[in-house]
Amino acid sequence: MTDVLRRGRGSLAFGFLVQGVTFALLVTRIPAVQDRYGVSDALLPVFLAAVPVLAGIGSVTTERLVRRIPPSRVLRWSQPVVLLALLGVGAGRHMAVLAVALAAFGLAVGALDASMNMLGVSLQRAYGRSIMLGFHAAYSLGGIVGASLAWAGARWEQALWVSYLPVVLVLLPAALIGSRWYVDGDGATAVDGGKSTGAEGAGRAGERGGAVGWLLPLCLVMTVAYIGDSTVSNWSAKYLQDVLGSSEQLATVPYNVYMVTTLVGRAVGDGAVRRFGAVAVVRAGSVVAAAGFAVVAGAPGAWVGMLGFTLLGLGLCVLVPQTFAAAGRRAHDSGRPGAAEAAVARLNVFNYVGFLVGSPLVGALGDAWSYRGAMLVPMVLVLVTLVYARSFESEPDRYGGVHERPRTADVGRGSNGL
């Protein structure tokens, strides 16, 4: 069974990496997409906002789907749809094609994000120790690879489809092959030899319902984390150039630095959770992220501003993986079959809420007040996470130290035959 878990962990990490590559290839080439289809500046925000809205719908739909089919199957088939939708964005020529491709991308991304984190949460439970940050580290690595590929495509003035096609041709079959080793948690393949299925269990959870008030603080933390993330991704370059007076070339560096420090923080984060516990790690991440925003807001020049964005990467990187882990763990502790999958799907919606709120919020405050002042708002919001840090506490088992379970749990078979 240990080999099954290891293969499941490796294949899921690869799935996270593929998603990071795919998403970065889309968002970093938005100007090229706009030029290809002749999308006006007024219409572009509508297209960009539609993707997270549809992703939220896809996440909610996934909550219902996993009442009947295992999350591994949702992930297996949503990832190819995301890759093909990316290719559709690059290959089309008419506005209608762009609208359909982005709609497919958004819906499939919602299903993919939800199912991917469901599997991550169940694997972490099976391992009995923190491994969730490692999956998100793979996503960060994929984002760096995707952004680098996008830079190369732009540098050599490649058509979008020329830039996207080789990536899709390589990653799509690799993702399908890797999906053979996905492992569903104890909701999808029962410990008792397969007498219960994830579909039946989640169905019962949906029928029984139950209070989910404990999920609301985690939803707030997820929203805040993505407000911070979207602030960096959408405003770091403009802030460095227009407010701190950097060159255009230097203004492209903060986001890359942010992505690298996010990867580093997540790569070592699981070890920190095992040693100090999730509550301490979340508190430390919140304080470091708030310090990053404070440094950015008060920076006298570009290089100090760069230091602020570095701190932001190290701080924000732990919040999202630990929020998913806490939601899955607490839902599982409720004893309702399938509750963890439902909690992850609902929580995932607030990923997109934060993404939708963050960029317009900073932009509106920057125009009405100042961009330095605008950076203080996500700083305050991140500090609110400290109030809800206890929501990340593991009960009855803590992931780390003497509380770590000594053996892995048997979660059943892999999903090869699905």
* DSSP conformation letters of 216-266: HHHHHHHHHHHHHHHHHHHHHHHIIIIIS---HHHHTHHHHHHHHHHHHHH
Structure tokens at 319: 């919040």
- Range 1-182 classified under CATH 3.10.450.50: no
pLDDT above 80 (res 181): yes
pTM of the model as a whole:
0.86
- Asked if residue 396 has a cis previous peptide bond (ω within 30° of 0), the answer is yes
Least confident of 93-97, 119-123, 252-256, 318-322: 252-256
pLDDT of 212? 63
Amino acid in the structure at residue 130 = S
Domain borders along the chain are 1-182, 211-401
Task: Convert 1-22 to b/e letters by CB count within 10 Å (16 or more is b).
Answer: eeebbebbbebbbbbbbbbbbb
Same fold, 1-182 and 211-401: yes
Burial label for 145, CB within 10 Å (0-12, 13-18, 19+), is middle
pLDDT tens digits, one per residue of 342-400? 999 999 999 999 999 988 999 899 989 999 999 999 999 999 999 999 999 865 444 44
Q: Which residues contact 267 (CB under 8 A, 6 or more apart)?
A: 133, 134, 137
For 43, 233, 279, 302, 305, the CA distances from 253, given in Å and listed in that order, are: 28, 11, 32, 10, 11
Q: pLDDT per residue over 69-119, tens digit each?
A: 999 999 999 999 999 999 999 999 999 999 999 999 999 999 999 999 999
For 234, residues 6+ apart whose C-beta sits below 8 A from its C-beta are 358, 359, 362, 363
> In this predicted model, what pLDDT tens digit does every residue of 51-60 receive, in sequence order?
999 999 999 9
Which pLDDT band, with edges at 50, 70 and 90, does 297 fall under?
very high
Q: What pLDDT, on a 0 to 100 scale, did the predictor assign at position 154? A: 84
Q: How far apart are CA 52 and CA 268, in angstroms?
A: 29
As a CATH number, domain 211-401 is 1.20.1250.20
Give the C-alpha separation, 278 to 207, whole Å.
31
Q: Kindly state the tokens that stand for 407.
A: 């053996």
- Which among 60, 187, 192, 50 has a CA at the least distance from the CA of 113? 60
Give percent above pLDDT 90 in the chain: 68
pLDDT for the residue numbered 193: 36
Distance CA 266, CA 314 (A): 8
Most confident of 29-43, 82-96, 402-416: 82-96
